[in-house]
Amino acid sequence: MFTRQFADGGADLELQGISKRFLGFTAIEELDLVVPAGSFFALLGPSGCGKTTTLRLVAGLEEPTSGRVLIGGKDITSTKAYQRPVNTVFQSYALFPHMSVLQNVEFGLRRRSVPDPLAKAREALRLVELEQLAERKPQQLSGGQQQRVALARAIVNRPALLLLDEPLGALDLKLRRQMQLELKSIQLDVGLTFLHVTHDQEEAMVMADTVAVMNKGRIEQMGAPNELYELPRTVFVANFLGQSNLFTGPVVSSTDTALTLDVQGFRITVPISRTQRQRGEITVGVRPEKLSLHTEAPDLGSDSNTLGEGRIVDVSFSGVSTQYLVNIPALGNLLVFAQNLGFGPVAGVGAEVWVSWQVGHGFGLADDPSPAARFAADDSTAAIAIAELEES
């Protein structure tokens, strides 16, 4: 198998106190981040959260308002984009239509007068399993094949850091999932540092070793994908990375291992080890797939939470699971995902049901469901005038 002998090992990426301010608004605020060498790191967040701006700052396509960018311990903040040990794969593959696949891959090598560009280009195509299509033109390839050519063209330059800017966004669902696995496999083979920017939760969780969830110019939470999903720390992360049922109420009792909330007359218990706050009014949550649906009031032990009775107001079939929307008076609507082990839904719209989940599946958050805006409005005439002076 082709291994790291082809590409140099990746380098650490470090962002120190990075801020980026555009005319009238702040895109990134005091961002500190370390991406270890050889890792697959994902920046995940909604549009406008600052993730693409972060990638452009690393690539040298934007200049930070303040802070430093270091790759391999070397400060490259003032280094021109073409002088940085970085390559970027964009959603638009930007292949040269008049060149063959092989010529596209070796183009950068020839521009830099790298010895034996043809052999290196063929080796890169073998890595992405396209050597048999080397003489074809880009328009003769599928979307997934074009994406792999763009990846080979980036890897062949042996960058210390490979930036992926929503590279799979133009592909259909089935091909996108296939390419997620292929990208991860390639990253493991070549040992480069990958920084992947995406708003697609599945992409980030399938491919990345570490995921940083961004919100309004800051990293809201960072960690392994399963850690972020199972133990979100904030309402934003709980709702952006998957879906959550959230409940807010005061703590009414506690033990050494768990605490209990009163939520509109219902008792909900959560492990202390899985909560960010332990006193006063707090918000706790549970993922929809952790809930069980019952058509009769269940008789469960103290290791389970039970809510009901409620009424099913919507049923949606999604293939591997059926999604139920259950309305419980005083609590509102709860979302339940039930795996389709049999044929047809457990219950239909209008049925009376109860929901339950194991106490150990709940989590407690550090904030409430309506956090204050992080940045004050910055679109006043005075603010814009100041920004224009700074830009001039």
Do 222 and 240 have their domain in common?
A: no
Looking at residue 170, its pLDDT comes to 66
The domain in which residue 21 lies consists of: 13-230
Do 247 and 160 have their domain in common?
A: no
Let me know if residue 91 belongs to a domain.
Answer: yes
Let me know if residue 268 belongs to a domain.
Answer: yes
What's the one-letter identity of residue 153? R
Residue 234 has pLDDT above 80, yes or no: yes
Taking the model in full, what pTM does it have? 0.82
Give the pLDDT confidence of 296-352 residue by residue, as tens digits.
999 888 899 999 899 999 999 988 889 999 999 999 999 999 988 776 677 899 999
Let me know if residue 373 belongs to a domain.
Answer: no
Sheet containing 40-44, strands listed edge to edge, beginning at the edge strand earlier in sequence: 86-90, 161-165, 193-198, 40-44, 210-215, 218-223
Which of 102, 34, 101 minimizes the C-alpha distance to 69? 34
Burial of 368 (0-12, 13-18, 19+ CB in 10 A): middle
Let me know if residue 279 belongs to a domain.
Answer: yes
Higher-pLDDT residue of 300 and 392 is 300
Do 19 and 110 have their domain in common?
A: yes
Q: Are strands 193-198 and 40-44 parallel, antiparallel or unpaired?
A: parallel
CATH number for the domain harbouring residue 34? 3.40.50.300
Residue 48 has pLDDT above 50, yes or no: yes
Higher-pLDDT residue of 377 and 44 is 44
**What is the residue-wise DSSP string for 44-59?**
E--TTSSHHHHHHHHH
Give the pLDDT confidence of 84-120 residue by residue, as tens digits.
999 888 777 778 899 999 999 999 888 888 888 899 8
Q: Are 308 and 336 in contact (CB under 8 A)?
A: no
| Measured distance CA(319)–CA(353) in Å, rounded | 22
Do 194 and 114 have their domain in common?
A: yes
Mean pLDDT of 17-40: 92
Distances, alpha carbon 94 to alpha carbons 3, 150, 311, in Å:
27, 8, 53
Let me know if residue 392 belongs to a domain.
Answer: no
Residue 273 has pLDDT above 90, yes or no: yes
Let me know if residue 369 belongs to a domain.
Answer: no
Do 157 and 52 have their domain in common?
A: yes
CATH number for the domain harbouring residue 292? 2.40.50.140
Do 194 and 340 have their domain in common?
A: no
Residue 163 has pLDDT above 80, yes or no: yes
Do 124 and 273 have their domain in common?
A: no
What token pair was written down for 16?
């120190």
Total structural domains within the chain: 2
Looking at residue 384, its pLDDT comes to 41
Do 153 and 42 have their domain in common?
A: yes
Domain boundary among 196, 213, 230: 230
Distances, alpha carbon 104 to alpha carbons 13, 82, 95, 183, in Å:
28, 18, 7, 19
